[in-house]
A = this chain, B = another copy of it.
Amino acid sequence: MKMLKDKQSAHQDTWRVYGTELSSRLFIGTAMYPSPAVMQAAIKASGAQVVTLSLRRQAPESQSGDQFWQSIQSMGCELLPNTAGCHTAKEAVALAQMSREIFQTDWIKLEVIGDDYNLQPDPFGLLDATEQLIKLGFKVFPYCTDDLVLCQRLQDLGCEVLMPWGAPIGTGKGLMNPYALEVLRARLPEAKLLVDAGIGKPSDACQAMELGYDGILLNTAIAQALAPETMASAFADAVSAGRKAFHGGMMPARHLAKPSTPTLGTPFWHEQNQ
Contact = CB atoms under 8 A, between A and B. Distances in A.
B249 A203 contact: no
A49 interface: no
A122 B153 CA distance: 11
A84 B174 CA distance: 34
B242 A226 contact: no
Interface string A55-98: 11110000000000000000000000010111000010011001
B210 A257 contact: no
Contact of A256 (B95, B168, B265): B168
A259 B91 contact: no
A178 to B, nearest CB: 9
B56 A259 contact: no
A51 to B, nearest CB: 12
Interface string A210-250: 10000000011101111110110111111011111101111
B147 A253 contact: no
Contact of A148 (B120, B180, B210, B259): B120
A213 B130 CA distance: 34
Interface string A142-169: 0001011110110000000000000111
A261 to B, nearest CB: 4
9 contacts: A117-B257, A123-B123, A123-B149, A168-B256, A168-B257, A170-B257, A170-B260, A206-B206, A221-B251
Give me the 7 closest cross-chain CB pairs, A-B, nearest first.
A226-B249, A170-B258, A234-B244, A84-B261, A168-B257, A56-B265, A114-B149
